[in-house]
Structure 1
Amino acid sequence: MHIGELPMIIFTTVAQMSVGAFWILGIIHLLGRRAGIEKSAIDSLTNAGMYAAGPLLLLGFFAAFFHLNDPFHAPFTLLHLGSSWLSRELISGVLYALFGLIFALTQWFNSFSRTVRDVFAALTALAGLSLVVSMCGVYYFAMTVPAWHTWFVWVSFFCSAFFTGSLAVALALLTTWRMKLRGASEKHGEPRNIWQKLVATLRRGLFPPGKLPEGLIDLTKRSMRITTGIAAAAGLIILVSYAFFMTQLGLGSPVQQQVARNMMAHGYLIIRLVLLVITILLIALVLRNYISHTSYPQRSLVITLWVTFVLAVATELIGRGLHYEGLVRAGINTLLG
């Protein structure tokens, strides 16, 4: 694989995970409100996942800067916003981070009205959509790269957001559930030093004190079933799409056939697909059964979900590395693998 593209492999995968997680959290809020649950109670369930979305994007941006010869030249990519998908990608990422930060701060400090906070949440979700669309555009509209100018870019990028983002939210929900149970059974004394005060402040923001009411436990289990179901569906779409995409490359032009050979070399495609199948099976056969029949977050459920999440991220990173094997240009003296 193109190890030199590692910064972009990390950036695209992690940023899409962040956006997908934010979308899924929005769906959970809509489900909770439809069920008649207090908005503040839903916040106590979803805050941990929401606050994790921002650092994920920052991690992605940090990795992307290493792809630049000079990181201080990054602002110059904004000069062609009207014609460059790269410029749109950067401004969309900045807007997503900005709106998300404002929304997170208003949530943390309980500032402004709920309507204002909902507006910032909607703006964050729209900026995230623009970010993923711009990422697709950067590659799809590279007309001289036939393997990228295809439907597969759109399918793989959007499905990646829902695949890893859904599992990240499921982990956040499970963590909140466990922390609520642990907080209800533990007695915390007054913090004695700066570190303990910081931990206490973070704990109150991420996991507000108080037990999860019965209705919220039901919403937690329902949300985890939905998130794992979305993840399984997205993973299955990616898996099936590979069959059509590889067939398209194998029957295509010499450049596309070269890409197919590059992707098949060294066994990375096989590893990617095997990990994808294992992840889907873990979700469909193990996690959903655990979630449906558990009355509290068992240790086996925690371990299984963590293993599933790690495998999902690993297979997506490998998949994104295979994506850059498609960088074979069509044109005079440009058939380079």
Structure 2
Amino acid sequence: MFAEEWPLMMFTLICQLAVGSYILLVLVRSILAQKDAPSAKRLTSFGFLAVGPLMALALIFSLFHLGTPTGAYRSILNLGSSWLSREILTAGGFFVLWFVSYKAYQKETVGNGLGWLTSLVGLLVIFSMVNIYGTSVRPAWDNANTYIAFFGTTFALGSLGAASFIAYGAKGSALSPEILTILKKVSLIGIVAVIIQLIYLPVFISGLGSGVAASIASAQLLSGSYLFPLVVYGVLSLVGVGLLYYGLGKATNTKSIPVNVVYLALIMVVVGEFIGRYVFYASAVSVMIGQS
């Protein structure tokens, strides 16, 4: 993989972690605020704060990918025809709305309308991101797998990120059974997100094998030299989300979140998704002029 793609890879992963965590934190807060507004604020406050620096870091990586960061403003001038321009606009909009919603969420009485609006813009960031690859000359990217992989990673990392931020916010205190049940449902979202990605992988590789020369080359890479990294990605991600669910299940007896288990699960999924994203970039072969 070319060195200049590393910033882009980091941008996609960190952005998806930030967006996914934010969405699931809004979900937890929306459900919990109906019964216990003070706990909703206490448990999610740190998470909402942490999303901002994560998104800022992602945006910094995106600037390095542009080659000339000082000229980044010119990339937003083609909103009518460029998915890159739309990605930049929505990413910037998500960051601004994060700041406004974080300030609003410091008030216990504020509703969740702004949070859901910010979540919608976050999903538009991921949608714009995916469509950039949908217009590429790499068949492995111009594929439904990119939608599944990017949105799947958003919710897989988001479930672990939200759970980790909430675990930190809880600071080892006892939680009600209702809160633990909500967190278990969040972990189930992560499990489903990972399973869907893994189920579609064989379909994706098989489809590439019946395409043009470039897609066949990508299929050969995925079933050959990159097969082992793909297996490692699948195992780490699946075990990670499973570990989160198991840890939260054990917490029903102690009523406190096993912080170390949650953090370990986060690390496993982050590493797994990093490997999976590396393979995504490294295995994509470009269509050459005159190639069929």
What's the TM-score once normalised by structure 2's chain length? 0.90
Deviation, 1:334, is 7.4
Render the CA deviation track for 1:277-334: whole Å, top value 9, x for unaligned.
Answer: 24323533x4433322321436xx3332222211211121222222223543324167
Pick from 61, 67, 70: which aligns with 1:69?
Answer: 67
- Does the CA-based 8 Å contact 1:15-1:60 persist in structure 2? yes
**Is 1:228–2:183 an aligned residue pair?**
no
Deviation, 1:163, is 0.4
Q: Aligned ranges for residues 47-86 of structure 1 at < 5 Å?
A: 47-86=45-84
> Structure 1 pair 326/281, CA: closer, same or farther in 2 (3 Å)?
closer
**Residue 267 of structure 2 aligns with which residue?**
310
Higher mean alpha-carbon deviation, 325-334 vs 231-240, is at 325-334
| Paired AA for residue 27 in structure 2 | I
1-side partners of 2:158 and 2:122: how far apart?
12
What's the TM-score once normalised by structure 1's chain length? 0.79
Q: Which has the larger radius of gyration?
A: 1
Q: Aligned ranges for residues 95-244 of structure 1 at < 5 Å?
A: 95-108=93-106, 110=107, 114-115=110-111, 118-142=112-136, 144-178=137-171, 181=173, 217-244=176-203
Secondary structure of the residue aligned to 1:80 is coil
Show structure 1 runs of 5+ residues with no match: 182-211
Show structure 2 runs of 5+ residues with no match: none
Number of residues paired by the alignment?
290
Render the CA deviation track for 1:253-285: whole Å, top value 9, x for unaligned.
Answer: 211011123345544x4223224224323533x
> Structure 1 pair 2/74, CA: closer, same or farther in 2 (3 Å)?
same
**Residue 234 of structure 2 aligns with which residue?**
276
Percent identity over the alignment?
25
Secondary structure of the residue aligned to 2:171 is helix
- Does the CA-based 8 Å contact 1:328-1:334 persist in structure 2? no
Render the CA deviation track for 1:204-225: whole Å, top value 9, x for unaligned.
Answer: xxxxxxxx6xxx5323311221
Secondary structure of the residue aligned to 2:247 is helix
**Is 1:328–2:274 an aligned residue pair?**
no
| Paired AA for residue 246 in structure 2 | N
**Residue 10 of structure 2 aligns with which residue?**
10
Q: Alignment RMSD, CA only?
A: 2.3
Secondary structure of the residue aligned to 2:77 is helix
**Residue 195 of structure 1 aligns with which residue?**
none
1-side partners of 2:222 and 2:206: how far apart?
12
- Does the CA-based 8 Å contact 2:11-2:61 persist in structure 1? yes
2-side partners of 1:289 and 1:107: how far apart?
30
Pick from 202, 207, 211: which aligns with 1:252?
Answer: 211
